[in-house]
Each structure stands twice: as structure tokens, then as C-alpha cells.
A = this chain, B = another copy of it.
């Protein structure tokens, strides 16, 4: 579903107001019957000769994915990766707003980056009070677990982990780990011998 959403947001950006299941299929590399099936499941029905309304589908998918309404996000770790995340324009598209950033480095604490003042990592606990329940971990591997523990303590409900390691959290917390090296490792299999 997030892949449909990304495709639809792309179309919307290009000024497209409607799309046929066949064109959507070409854009995403999926079968058009699959798209018709999925879209009807979302409650979207195309019009013959016109196709599906892009804006309407975006709204419906956003609602299913609970992305309707701005979601506040905290970032922990303002190294190179953290800085890249703060500058990343893609979050807005999905209604995310990074509103807090934490680091342990005294030289960084208090500095302002992308309009956010970096806070001391020991203040992660304030997230509960501030009702920020979504966090991105961009710290080195060795401090990933203690960061996760602090976030769980602060009632974080969803974590996007970018540290190259596993983190352990209670079942009620949902974690998605992105391991860039593992994604790179998927490529050679598909590459012809040189």
C-alpha cells in the first residue's frame, strides 16, 4: 500500500488528476488486474474511460495507513545520517514533521539545524509529555539499544531504526529496521556476470 501511495503522490506532484489501472500498472510494474482488485478494496472505483481519481485515492490510502493528519517525529542521532534526514524533503509528502532532535555530543546540543534545536539525549523522556510517539534512530550501532530503551521508556510506539543492528523492544512497539548494506546485498544476484 505504501508503494501505491508513493506512486499516487508522484502523479499528484506531476499535476495528474486521474489515472487508468493500466497506466498505474506500467508506472509501478504491477499487474493491472491486481491494481483494480486492490483499489476496489480501498473503496476506490474507477470510471470507464477516465480511470481513478488520484486525489481521492491518496486520501483513502492515507486514512487506511493512519497518515491523515500531521504526525510528529523525533530524531535521535545528529551525525551525518541524522543531518541528511533533517534535510530530507520526502517526509512532508507523507505528513510527517520532524519536531525534535537529540544527540549526546555536548558540542551539538543547543545548536540549531534545519530549524530544530538539538536537545540532550537524556531528555528523550520528555517525548511522552510532548506526545511524540514516533522516532527515527540514527545513532552508531553501539548506542542503538540504549536509545531504543530510552524511547520505549518515553512511550514511543513506532521506531524507524537506521542503525546497522537489531534492537529489542516490547511487542507493543513496532520497529522497522533499514539496513542499507543488506539492500545493496540484494543487487548482485540480479546482475549479469561481467
Chain A residues with CB under 8 Å of chain B are 2-3, 5-6, 10, 64-67, 71, 73, 79-81, 83-85, 87-91, 93-94, 96, 131, 133-134, 136, 141, 157-160, 162, 164-166, 172, 174, 176, 178-192, 194
Contacts and interface: CB of A to CB of B under 8 A. Distances in A.
A143 to B, nearest CB: 14
A95 to B, nearest CB: 9
What 4 A-B pairs are tightest by C-beta distance, nearest first?
A90-B181, A158-B187, A81-B84, A90-B164
A123 B66 CA distance: 45
B178 A183 contact: yes
6 contacts: A2-B185, A66-B189, A96-B184, A96-B185, A159-B187, A174-B191
Copies of this chain: 2
Contacts of A73: 184
Contact of A10 (B160, B166, B192): B166
Contacts of A181: 88, 90-91, 93-94, 96
A85 B178 CA distance: 13
Contacts of A66: 188-189, 191
Given A180-B178, A183-B160, A133 B191 contact: yes
Contact of A174 (B10, B67, B172, B190): B190
Given A64-B189, A80-B80, A191-B66, A178 B178 contact: yes
A71 B191 CA distance: 12
